[in-house]
Amino acid sequence: MKKSFLGLVAGTAALALTMTACGSSGSNTPAASGAATATSAADLGGLDKLVEAAKAEGELNVIALPHDWANYGEILDAFKKKYGLKINESNPEGSSQDEINAVKQLKGQTRAPDVVDLGGAFAISAATDGLLAPYKVATFGDIAATQKDPEGDWVNDYGGFISIGYDASKVTVPPTSFADLKKPEYKGKVALNGDPTKAGAAYAGVYAAALANGGSFDDIKPGVQYFADLKKSGNFIPVQSSAATVESGQTPITLDWDYLQAGYSAKLKGKVDWKVAVPTDGVYSNYYSQGINKSAPHPAAARLWQEFLFSDEGQNLFLKGLSRPVRLPKMTEAGTVDKALLAALPAVSGDVKFPTTAQDDAAKKIIADEWAKALG
Amino acid sequence: MSAPTGKGRTVRRWLILSLFGVYFLVPMLASVEFSLRDVNDTHSLVSWKKLLTEPGLFETLTTSLWVAFGTVALTLILMVPTVSWVHLRRPKLRKLVEGISLLPLVIPPIVLVNGVLVVFRDVPEVISGTPVILVLEYVILALPFTYRALDAGLTAIALPTLVEAARSLGASWPAVLLRVVVPNIRSAVFGAAFLNLALVMGEYTLASILLMDTFPVWTVSTGQSEAGVSVAVSLLSLLVVFLLLFVLSMVTGRRHRQVTAPIAPTPSRGHS
Amino acid sequence: MTANSITAEAGVVHPAPAAVPARPMPKRVAAWVTGHIGLLPFLAYTGIFLGAPVFMVVLGAFQDNDGVFTTDNITAAMSDQFGRSFVTSIELSALTAVLGAVFGAILAQAVLGTKPDGLVRKVVSSASGVLANFGGVPLAFAFIATLGSIGIVTKALTALGLDIYAGGFSLFAFTGIAIVYVYFQIPLMVIVFTPSLEGMREQWREAAENLGATKWQYWRHIAGPVLLPPFMASLLLLFANAFSAYATAYALTTGVVPLVPIQIGSLVSGNVVADQQNLGKALGLGMIVVVAIVMSIYNWMQRRTSRWLG
């Protein structure tokens, strides 16, 4: 094939020409025996064997885990401390799409991500593309069938609600619904957490807007139309919201996960008076999903990370970040949940429903086709 | 300069310079102020302190410095002999070399990286999976001003005479290049090297699309979690590069200006 | 700059390297290789690291995901939001090029009046080098601190009763991005245009004054016509510069403005369901065409310049 021939020529020449050996990552991964195909810890002879294999690998590559997102900072530290693995973090602010892209683009490289944490719809398409390795954690049975792939290609890990966050010092009349956000007083203020074609949080924001505007899980189009209108009126600004944009005042109003908003309030106390409201007209909740890169450079470490996240300890740490861990119902039942942390969660009204895999798939296609056209 | 209007002109000139000075300084001062902001409308050094402990700063800075060093070295290894050879042996080929060297100006980096992703998809990881690929491509991005600087430097000296003299004294070709040519175009080499450095320390497009953790990539990503810190680090990097360039212009003095002028019409792609 | 390339042997424009007189083929090839031996590393290097990637972009622009020839990508690149983003990109580049060129020329002229080796010159030339080459990311953050919604200038203006954000201004839309671009376009103009200004002979002014010309007449009939081609050339260069800029707009908005480079970046990094890498290449080809047109005009202008400012 022409492409690989060019690649070969280029490679040889480059090797010949490169006299400047730049700090190449000298980390060689020992091929962990069987870990790459293990679908449960039992396959390797139990959790202890898994820990052993992970320690032999010595490293774990994670991607797109902001430290102020669902308490990931503490979770990473706890994992490091517990197992003594080195964690390589890349592109902490990346979107779900960035994660998938890294899995594809870095396939076979030692710096490829071992594990991904994807917005629900993105996990489904990654699994369809065959990028994820099936794995069932010890607590797999605790998780409802609707919240996991039957083979364990992806499993929901934590979730939350789309909420409206705002800077109370700049936004004097608090917006409490999607309808409110259309008002002229919010001109140039409303932002999403990224581009819904790429980022799970922004995608969820559009879905929530759809629900508020006559759409349904089967019909996300009203959400796209909503943002197109919001853009036309000048209320919507094309800036990806983050702790920094909230701090710098670039995004006075954001539509984002409630646990992130709560994190901003805590982090920016004294700088920004950040308040949060769950929109009255479009209640939408969803979960993120864990997945293991099929060609993970550290397959055992990747699996150990899963075991840790879905253990009581890991799940309670998610809860500490004000997100809702997937095993929350079972843990409440069993009494293993940290009650103080649970009490700190804002109450939810009504019962929570999620779109099905098929609905998510269809919605994502529509976003891909229509978003750029509507907002371009 | 004609006397009658001299005074008025001077006043007007300084007025213009001051206005531009204000225009260019305001964002810098605003950055200083912003980086000093603390809670409840107070000011402190908290962002600057945080900067030092922010994970990734030193790693990415080291990577970028390595890449810069590699780019400068490889650029000079490739271009000094090429341009010298053309000057000495085939002056007629100057137009060809110049044409190729200026091509990167026509290819926006975002387009180049698109092709790089395809071409170097299957090469060994030592190249595609490490900053080596950045070095290799930054040499290309830097070609336009490297060529201009070296070409101007070589034009300014009596190269054939020098080389003939050295050769007749029995010097080998490598010796001629290293001991005769290079010292004589020292300031051109410095100029090219410096602009290479500035380019590498600021290049974002290729590094981010190729998923390399370099200093500029780190700045943007940190900028999404810590506003104060990102402004502080931006300010710092601008200052450091400015000081480097300023010192260089002090050191090389007038000779420097002669050789940097020819670099002029070549925008680097640092910010693109 | 042309100033230095006008030397004994290189002043004339040469056609491509002349072929060696007719000989049998293999020998001609061998002769060509030995004749160009010093050029081979350079040709190989640029061929691999510049030629091959560009070739793959052009090729990919005309292929679908299975490698079959198609013009769909090109059609898509010129329609809908992509077509519009070309228009936006061109508008932004043109506006910032004109502003940058005019203000940059004024600044360059003012700086030239100062002492040749004085501090002002050194500061301006160093600062220009930094801002023009290195601006991007740091500049975006500097402007957020300045004109962002809690930037110090925004706050000051609000205190004075002028709430620019209420007035519809946003640093993250067209106007805002243009303001940031101008900030690096002016220094680039200073770098590019100063040599032409330096080339203006003092004798020309003196001669004109001796002949009784007014200042206006001097500018209208002498300086203007001589400086116009280099000015236009610099302007085109500024255009190309803004047109291909990526980092600044990306850092300002995290990549959600309808500019071509941003769109390409988004397509390259795998935009969701549809694998549209080749559409990104088609957009890239479009950019190359635009810049190539601009740069050929630039070259033509440069050649006209060198006649006067040798």
Rounded-to-integer distance, Cα A283 and Cα B122, Å = 46
Q: Which of residues 17-36 of B touch C (CB under 8 A)?
A: 17, 20, 24, 26-31, 33-35
CB contact under 8 A, A188 and C274: no
CB contact under 8 A, C80 and A373: yes
The minimal CB distance from B92 to the residues C14, C57, C241 is found for C14
A248 near C CB under 8 A: yes
- The three-state secondary structure class of C199 is helix
Among A194-203, B120-129, C272-281, C297-306, the range with the most confident prediction by mean pLDDT is A194-203
Question: Beta partners for A158?
Answer: A288, A325
- A76 CB-side CA count, 13 A: 22
Q: Do residues A148 and A136 lie in contact, with contact meaning Cβ atoms separated by under 8 Å?
A: no
Residue of B nearest to A68 (CA): B225
Which pLDDT score, from 0 to 100, does residue A249 have?
A: 80
Rounded-to-integer distance, Cα A109 and Cα A101, Å = 13
A250–chain C nearest CA distance, Å = 6
The minimal CB distance from A244 to the residues B67, B74, B230 is found for B230
B12–chain C nearest CA distance, Å = 9
Biggest CA pair distance of chain C: 83
Which pLDDT score, from 0 to 100, does residue A4 have?
A: 42
Rounded-to-integer distance, Cα A4 and Cα A1, Å = 6
Q: DSSP E strands: which ranges in A14-153?
A: 59-63, 86-90, 115-119, 132-133
Which pLDDT score, from 0 to 100, does residue C305 have?
A: 67
Q: Do residues C235 and C302 lie in contact, with contact meaning Cβ atoms separated by under 8 Å?
A: no
Rounded-to-integer distance, Cα C150 and Cα C280, Å = 36
C182–chain A nearest CA distance, Å = 21
pLDDT band for position C287 (cuts 50, 70, 90): very high
CB contact under 8 A, C1 and B118: no
**Which tokens belong to C64?**
């679908």
Among B24-33, B168-177, C207-216, the range with the most confident prediction by mean pLDDT is B24-33
- The three-state secondary structure class of C139 is helix
Tell the residue number behind the tokens 């480097």, with chain if given: B244
Residue A242: its chain B contacts at CB < 8 A?
224-225
Q: Read off the DSSP letter of residue A162.
A: E
CB contact under 8 A, A10 and B119: yes
CB contact under 8 A, C42 and B136: no
CB contact under 8 A, C246 and B205: yes
**Which tokens belong to C280?**
């990104």
Rounded-to-integer distance, Cα A85 and Cα B254, Å = 56
User: What radius of gyration do chain B's Cα atoms show?
Assistant: 22
**Which tokens belong to B180?**
């005769």
Residue C274: its chain A contacts at CB < 8 A?
368-369
Cα–Cα distance list, B50 to A85, B154, B228, B234 (Å): 25, 47, 9, 14
A45 near C CB under 8 A: no
Question: Taking the alpha carbons of B45, B50, B52, B58 in that order, is the dihedral positive or negative?
Answer: negative
B21 vs C276, residue with greater confidence: B21
- The three-state secondary structure class of A289 is strand
Rounded-to-integer distance, Cα C191 and Cα C254, Å = 29
Closest CA to B261 of B151, B96, B120, B160: B151
C245–chain A nearest CA distance, Å = 18
CB contact under 8 A, B211 and A102: yes
Q: How many CB atoms lie within 10 A of CB C220?
A: 12
Q: Which amino acid is at A214?
A: G
Q: Do residues A354 and A290 lie in contact, with contact meaning Cβ atoms separated by under 8 Å?
A: no
For strands A285-293 and A115-119, give the pairing.
antiparallel
Rounded-to-integer distance, Cα A5 and Cα B122, Å = 9
Mean pLDDT of chain B: 82
CB contact under 8 A, A242 and B224: yes
Which pLDDT score, from 0 to 100, does residue A47 have?
A: 93
User: What radius of gyration do chain A's Cα atoms show?
Assistant: 22
**Which tokens belong to C148?**
């962002």
Q: Do residues A143 and A326 lie in contact, with contact meaning Cβ atoms separated by under 8 Å?
A: yes
Alpha carbon dihedral A306, A312, A314, A319, in 10-degree steps, equals 130
Cα–Cα distance list, B84 to A331, B140, B151 (Å): 75, 18, 8
* Choice among A141-145, B26-30, C6-10, C152-156 with the minimum mean pLDDT: C6-10
Question: Which class for A95: exposed (0-12), middle (13-18), buried (19 or more C-beta within 10 A)?
Answer: buried
Task: Tell which of B41, B114, B247 to mutate to test the C interface (max C CBs under 10 Å).
Answer: B114
Which chains share 3+ C-beta pairs under 8 angstroms with A? Answer: B, C
Rounded-to-integer distance, Cα B118 and Cα B111, Å = 11
pLDDT band for position C242 (cuts 50, 70, 90): very high
Question: Beta partners for A63?
Answer: A90
Closest CA to A98 of B55, B57, C266: C266
- The three-state secondary structure class of C13 is coil
Rounded-to-integer distance, Cα C128 and Cα B257, Å = 13
CA A328 remoteness from chain centre: 18
B89 near C CB under 8 A: yes
Task: Tell which of C141, C153, C170, C254 to mutate to test the A interface (max A CBs under 10 Å).
Answer: C254
Which pLDDT score, from 0 to 100, does residue A14 have?
A: 46
Tell the residue number behind the tokens 């810590």, with chain if given: B226
DSSP B194-241: HHHHHHHHH--HHHHHTT---HHHHHHHHTTT-HHHHHHHHHHHHHHH
pTM for this predicted structure: 0.82
Q: Which amino acid is at B48?
A: W
**Which tokens belong to A92?**
């902490």
B154 vs A375, residue with greater confidence: B154
Q: Which amino acid is at A95?
A: S
- For every one of its 376 residues, what pLDDT tens digit does chain A have, with 9 covering 90 and above? 334 444 444 444 444 444 333 333 334 444 445 888 899 999 988 999 999 999 999 999 999 998 888 999 999 999 999 999 999 998 888 888 889 989 988 888 899 999 999 988 889 889 988 999 999 999 999 998 989 999 999 999 999 999 999 999 888 899 999 999 999 989 888 999 988 888 889 999 999 999 999 999 999 999 999 999 998 888 888 788 888 888 878 789 999 999 999 888 888 888 889 999 888 888 898 899 999 999 999 999 999 999 999 999 999 999 999 899 999 989 999 999 999 988 888 776 656 778 888 898 899 889 888 887 787 6
Question: Beta partners for A287?
Answer: A159
Rounded-to-integer distance, Cα B34 and Cα C140, Å = 13
Alpha helices in A186-324 (DSSP H): 200-212, 221-232, 243-248, 258-267, 299-309, 312-320
The minimal CB distance from A238 to the residues C45, C80, C253 is found for C253
The minimal CB distance from C269 to the residues A98, A188, A376 is found for A98
Give pLDDT tens digits for B61-116: 899 989 999 999 999 999 999 999 998 888 888 889 998 998 898 899 999 998 99
A235 near C CB under 8 A: no
CB contact under 8 A, C50 and B30: no
The minimal CB distance from B225 to the residues A6, A89, A243 is found for A243
- The three-state secondary structure class of A161 is strand
Residue A18: its chain B contacts at CB < 8 A?
74, 127, 132, 135-136
**Which tokens belong to C128?**
């220009």
CB contact under 8 A, B198 and C129: yes
Q: How many CB atoms lie within 10 A of CB A166?
A: 28
Q: How many CB atoms lie within 10 A of CB A94?
A: 25
Which pLDDT score, from 0 to 100, does residue A73 have?
A: 92
Q: Which amino acid is at C189?
A: M
C76–chain B nearest CA distance, Å = 17
pLDDT band for position C72 (cuts 50, 70, 90): confident
Q: What angle do the packed helices C136-147 and C119-134 form, to 10 degrees?
A: 100
Residues 6 or more apart whose CB falls under 8 angstroms from that of B222 comprise B54, B56, B229, B230, B233
Q: DSSP E strands: which ranges in B2-150?
A: none
Give pLDDT tens digits for B138-150: 999 999 888 988 8
- The three-state secondary structure class of A231 is helix
The minimal CB distance from A248 to the residues C148, C255, C272 is found for C148
Give pLDDT tens digits for B169-182: 888 888 888 888 88
A6 near C CB under 8 A: yes
Residue B118: its chain C contacts at CB < 8 A?
53, 56-57, 60
Q: Do residues B140 and C52 lie in contact, with contact meaning Cβ atoms separated by under 8 Å?
A: no
Q: Read off the DSSP letter of residue A40.
A: S
User: What radius of gyration do chain C's Cα atoms show?
Assistant: 24
H helix or E strand, kind and range, residue A337 = none
Which pLDDT score, from 0 to 100, does residue A350 have?
A: 59
Residues 6 or more apart whose CB falls under 8 angstroms from that of A357 comprise A124
C141-148 mean pLDDT: 86
pLDDT at C18 over 70: no
Task: Tell which of C256, C260, C264, C275 to mutate to test the A interface (max A CBs under 10 Å).
Answer: C256
Residue A93: its chain B contacts at CB < 8 A?
221, 224-225
Rounded-to-integer distance, Cα C85 and Cα C264, Å = 11
Rounded-to-integer distance, Cα C285 and Cα C297, Å = 19
Question: Taking the alpha carbons of C298, C303, C306, C307 in that order, is the dihedral positive or negative?
Answer: negative
State the complex-level ipTM: 0.84
Residue of A nearest to C79 (CA): A373
The minimal CB distance from A197 to the residues C41, C81, C272 is found for C272
Task: Tell which of B103, B145, B271 to mutate to test the C interface (max C CBs under 10 Å).
Answer: B271
Q: Do residues B96 and B147 lie in contact, with contact meaning Cβ atoms separated by under 8 Å?
A: no
CB contact under 8 A, A110 and B130: no
B2 near C CB under 8 A: yes
